[in-house]
């Protein structure tokens, strides 16, 4: 899975949906999941208020490092 996280200013539509003022800083998270052949099979986009944001990151690394068996996702060769 590939994720992109970006800070943006809420436009009028998102501001209304998130109950903030237009221009309020929000975070947009886009994710693309790929099959084993590298073809995209799922896409999602979430817009999050910055005053209600919590980020938790699990890198998949431990003292022994990371292997393809323990990685949480597979990426197309072009994204490696």
Quick: pLDDT tens for 13-61. 999 999 999 999 999 999 999 988 889 999 999 999 999 888 887 766 6
- What pLDDT was estimated at residue 9? 97
Question: Can you give the residue ranges of every domain in the chain?
Answer: 2-79
pLDDT value at residue 72: 55
pLDDT of residue 12: 97
What whole-number distance in Å separates Cα of residue 68 and Cα of residue 72? 9
DSSP codes, 8-21: EE--HHHHHHHTS-
Q: Which two tokens stand for residue 45?
A: 């986009």
Nearest CA among 37, 42, 36 for reference residue 2: 42
Query: Average pLDDT, stretch 61-78?
Result: 57
């Amino acid at each position: 899975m590939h994720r992109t996280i970006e800070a943006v200013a809420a436009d009028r539509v998102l501001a209304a949906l998130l109950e903030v003022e237009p221009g309020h800083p929000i975070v947009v998270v886009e994710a693309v999941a790929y099959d084993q052949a590298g073809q995209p099979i799922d896409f999602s986009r979430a817009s999050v208020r910055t005053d209600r944001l919590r980020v938790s990151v699990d890198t998949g690394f431990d003292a022994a490092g990371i292997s393809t068996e323990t990685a949480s996702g597979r990426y197309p060769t072009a994204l490696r």
